[in-house]
Amino acid sequence: MNERVLPAALEQALEPVALQHGFELVAVEIAGGAGAPVVRIYLDREGGVDLDAIASADPWLTEALEDQSELSGAYTLEVSSPGIERPLRTRAHFERFIGSQARVKTTRPIQERSSFTGTIVELRGDDVVLDCDGTLYEIPIQAVRKANLKYDFDSAHDKGVRR
């Protein structure tokens, strides 16, 4: 089982099924060993995802996964909300969260760095423009190894949001 190919194949197969059920497929991850993999599926929808929504998704996800020849043998299915520090995987994800704080790790150095934390300013072509303490970095989306929103707990506390 290829760790990069399998999640991409499953995302491609599951995305239309998720949309059909009113969900956005945020990400698919494979964890654990080849003998007992864990398939993690992150779903979201307008207004967020609660426990009832997750439970209702389990049957149709299980059915859709049964049709995937890439996923053979036993596995454990985990379905979850992406959380407040949700992954950013696609151009659409970055566009949706322009103005938000993000953490980005790259597959190769960009201006001698491979780890960035800053505000998503815009997208220029296939590059995410990130403002890291006043310095703008153009990060090619294909060079992003991992990215997620960064929730500022201290700022939320300062604004009266309960932790």
| CATH T-level fold of 91-155 | SH3 type barrels. (2.30.30)
Q: Residue 152 has which token pair?
A: 């500022």
Q: Where in the chain is the domain with CATH 2.30.30.180?
A: 91-155
Task: Specify the pLDDT at position 32.
Answer: 82
Overall pTM surpassing 0.75 (yes/no): yes
Measured CA angle at 39 (ends 152, 85), to 5 deg: 5
Over 80: is that where the pLDDT of 148 sits?
A: yes
DSSP helix/strand/coil, 111: coil
Task: Specify the pLDDT at position 155.
Answer: 58
Q: Where in the chain is the domain with CATH 3.30.300.20?
A: 5-80
For domain 5-80, the question of CATH label 3.30.300.20 is answered with yes
70, burial (CB in 10 Å: exposed 0-12, middle 13-18, buried 19+)? middle
Task: Specify the pLDDT at position 4.
Answer: 53
